[in-house]
Amino acid sequence: MENQEKVNILIVDDTPANLLSYQDILAPLGQNMVCANSGKEALQHLLHEDFAVILMDVSMPVLNGFETATLIRSRPRSAHTPIIFISAINTTEMHREKGYLFGRVDYIFSPVVPEILQAKVAVFIDLFRVTNAYKRQAEELSLLGKKLEEQVNEGKRLNQQLEVTNKELEAFSYSISHDLRNALSGIIGSSEILLDTYADKLDEGGREFLKSLYEDAWRMNELIEALLKLSRLSRQKMKYEIVDLTAIVKTIAKELRKIDPKRQVKFTIEEGIMANGDSVLLEVALQNLLSNAWKYTAKQPQTIIEFGVIPPDSPLTKGIEGVDSPLTKGVRGLSVYFVRDNGVGFDMFQTDKLFRPFSRLHTEDEFKGIGIGLTIVQRVIQRHNGIIWIEAKPNEGATFYWTLG
């Protein structure tokens, strides 16, 4: 008990010799003992302090032990404080039962056996400590609960504020993009007129400069259009329905073939692939993924592009690299869709660049593009509460896997 905080024990008796005797008996317990020589004085102590147990003489003038116990029980602070009555006069079973009625916990006849009194008081000391420990824990939990509630409310407030700010930023970006596109349209139009009408009046250097101006303006217009697409994706309301992904992929494949009918391209498209999602957004994602595969297989003598699905919990998912990583372990129980190609591929350490807007792994001379397509794909998948990841090797193609939450 040396390392524990001392507790209070209240001893109530109108005989000073009894008070000293009880203190001597309980001294080995090493607790704080408070003495009162009347019921009134005991009540005063109980107004300001908490006690593990009260030892109280039954026969006292003015307020006897039973009357004092009644008043103790009537006060919320001391309503549950254990009381041990001690009496040398009222030693019958009737008095013992009367003690129960007045809220006592125990009743000891005098003369007191020291070992018995020590044992009984020690039990109440332990009970007091345990009870206080639970109270402190409850208070701490209550305080933590309040702090957590405050943090949640603050989080909600910040989220609402962020949502408003994002909407304002999107509206601003959308407005600026429109204004810039209108200005660029004027530059592009004027450049075309100059090239068509006045090209013969310019020397070779002037024509090259004008052509470069036209191409740069057109590229800037494409970048702005890409920004507008991203903005529209963020603002577009989701409409969930059953979507025939196979049909969408077949349509996109047909359109891609028209771009270069002479290319040797083999599309492998799994039949009957359905998904629950927004049909417009999913078509945008598939358009970008398949266009990406088409572009980066352009230098292959035989292009192979595959679209398929791995069913939920299929043994095949165990063969997917990274499927059990922190990023992708959530695919268990979900269908995993994929687009695979035999194109140029890339080093996996460059993966983080793929979904970054306007970030490219290849130069403009190698492959045309502005580096926004995969950012759009990721945004669509995220809006469906899904995840997307990649397997690739240089000159061995790439496979894009994704889920829809």
More confident residue, 402 or 370: 402
Domain of 25, CATH number, reads 3.40.50.2300
CA dihedral 251, 229, 383, 344 (to 10 degrees): 60
Question: Is pLDDT at 285 greater than 80 in this prediction?
Answer: yes
Identify the three-state secondary structure at position 331: helix
Q: Which of 247, 227, 259 is nearest to 379 (CA)?
A: 227
Please indicate, yes or no, if residue 231 is contained in any of the structural domains. Answer: no
- Helix axis angle for 373-383 and 204-235, nearest 10°, is 0
Q: How far is the C-alpha of 170 from the C-alpha of 162, rounded, in Å? A: 12
Mean model confidence pLDDT for the chain: 82
Its domain, for residue 95, covers: 8-112
What is the predicted pLDDT for the residue at 180? 74
Rounded to an integer, what distance in angstroms lies between the CA atom of residue 317 and that of residue 388?
A: 14
Average pLDDT over residues 214-220: 75
What's the whole-number mean pLDDT along residues 267-279? 93
Could you tell me if 127 and 53 are in contact, meaning their C-beta atoms sit under 8 angstroms apart? no
**111-146 per-position pLDDT tens digit:** 889 999 999 999 999 999 998 899 889 889 989 999
193 belongs to a structural domain: no
- If asked whether residues 107 and 248 sit together in one domain, one would say no
Token pair for residue 46? 């109980």
Are 331 and 316 a contacting pair, CB within 8 Å? no
> What's the mean pLDDT in 295-299?
87
pLDDT at 365 over 70: no
Tell me whether residue 64 is in a domain.
yes
Q: Looking at 56, 79, 112, which one is the last position of a domain?
A: 112
Q: What span, in angstroms and rounded, lies between the C-alpha atoms of 166 and 232?
A: 13
Checking if the pLDDT of 310 tops 70, the result is yes
Half-sphere exposure of 18 (CA within 13 A, CB side): 20
Rounded to an integer, the average pLDDT of 104-110 is 73
- Split into its structural domains, the chain has a count of 2
Q: Is the model's pLDDT at 74 over the cut of 60? A: yes
Please check whether residue 189 lies inside any domain of the structure. Answer: no
Backbone angles phi and psi of 212, in degrees to 5: -65, -40
Residue finishing a domain among 93, 112, 131: 112
Q: What is the DSSP letter of 308?
A: E
Q: What's the CATH number where 257 sits?
A: 3.30.565.10
Within a domain: 179: no
In a domain, 191, yes or no: no
The answer to whether residues 242 and 375 belong to one domain is yes
The better pLDDT of the pair 257, 196 is held by: 257
Cα Rg, the chain, nearest whole Å: 42
Residue 193 has what pLDDT?
A: 83
% of the chain residues with pLDDT over 90: 33
Q: Based on the domain organization, do 108 and 244 belong to the same domain?
A: no
Q: What is the pLDDT of residues 33-65, one digit of tens each?
A: 999 999 999 999 999 899 999 999 988 988 988
Mean pLDDT: which of 171-180, 218-227, 270-279, 368-377 is highest? 270-279
Mean predicted confidence (pLDDT) in 280-291: 90
d(CA 252, CA 194): 37
pLDDT of residue 368: 61
Q: Considering the domain boundaries, does residue 149 fall inside one?
A: no
In a domain, 33, yes or no: yes
**pTM score > 0.75 for this model?**
no
Report how far apart, in Å, the C-alpha atoms of 222 and of each of 226, 229, 262 are.
Answer: 6, 10, 27
Q: What was the pLDDT predicted at 373?
A: 79
pLDDT at 364 over 70: no
The residue from 96, 112, 128 where one domain ends is: 112
Cα 91 to chain centroid distance, Å, stands at: 65
- Specify which residues 36 forms β-bridges with: 12
Worst-scoring range by mean pLDDT, 118-127, 283-292, 358-367?
358-367
